[in-house]
Structure 1
């Protein structure tokens, strides 16, 4: 019987991200390295890191045996939006994604180095982009924390209960249709 580790940390170099998935670490990860209920992904803050982060999140969901399509879709959407925002709107050199699961929910945290390119807060500015608005609408809870050194963490919680998951799926499908109509 295999045991599940309590924590895993995956750190990729800029070279590994650029060559992804043609790296030795990609094949090691596919063999079960992300089975732990809590995983940290440390990636360089480059555009190519977004699909790599999404891939690693999908792999983690697979290895957690989370098969509900609403939960999966919402988790991947949130991870993608938060990684994109950290890369586009900060001068960070590294972004860190924490994925945690317990019986009732998933928590996704995206940490950047907090050096903003523009000062804009999702909760206090009516002109914020639609990415964080979408995230806010499909989560059970969303928040941000800024450390004294400027490091910022944005976190989102997704419910794993069937009723909440189906509501998230319905809401995200509706928002996706609305977003497609607007653009």
Structure 2
């Protein structure tokens, strides 16, 4: 779970931003790529087209945090994509909120949806012939921890902690 005491930035992404992507990128990403924000909150429409936009914004945040290790970036973007896609697919809510933050040894990712369906995220083990159903299994394999919180109103937060690469200095000037 993300610590709440860290400096954060919030971005409200609209359907207009997504329709005009990538030209709209500069209106959302600050000049320092959130270099001073240890945490970023992205409020996005629950649209499949929002997934690559969310990944692009998180890439910019990783740049601002000077997290350049390709293995770490790959895992963060994989986990984010799986959680965001699940939130869109299994929620009836119009928006999804993504939070990503950095602690000393981990990047913490949370994806929150407003629910609207009684579906609860759970890991499945589909057979080899199945095309879908491996998202949370990928999240579990790509993170050191993951979990979920489901509220009485069926809103849901799924979170994961991705370890920062050992031996790679993050936040230091290149």
TM-score w.r.t. the length of structure 1 is 0.78
Structure 2 gap ranges (5+): 1-5, 127-131, 168-174
Distance 2:136 2:99 in 1: 18
1:88 maps onto 2:89 in alignment:
yes
Identify, as 1 or 2, the structure richer in helix: 1
SS at match of 1:162: coil
Distance 1:57 1:158 in 2: 14
1:136 maps onto 2:137 in alignment:
no
- From 134, 149, 154, the equivalent of 2:153 is 149
Deviation at 1:34, TM superposition (A): 2.1
Partner deviation per Cα, 1:54-95 (whole Å, 9 max, x = no partner): 000111111100011111000010111111111112112000
Structure 1 gap ranges (5+): 164-183
Distance 2:11 2:29 in 1: 9
**What is the aligned partner in structure 2 of residue 122 from structure 1?**
122
Going from structure 1 to structure 2, the CA distance change for 1:130 and 1:28 (only over 3 Å counts) comes to closer
**What is the aligned partner in structure 2 of residue 31 from structure 1?**
31
SS at match of 2:23: coil
Residue correspondences, number: 156
Deviation at 1:30, TM superposition (A): 5.1
SS at match of 1:135: helix
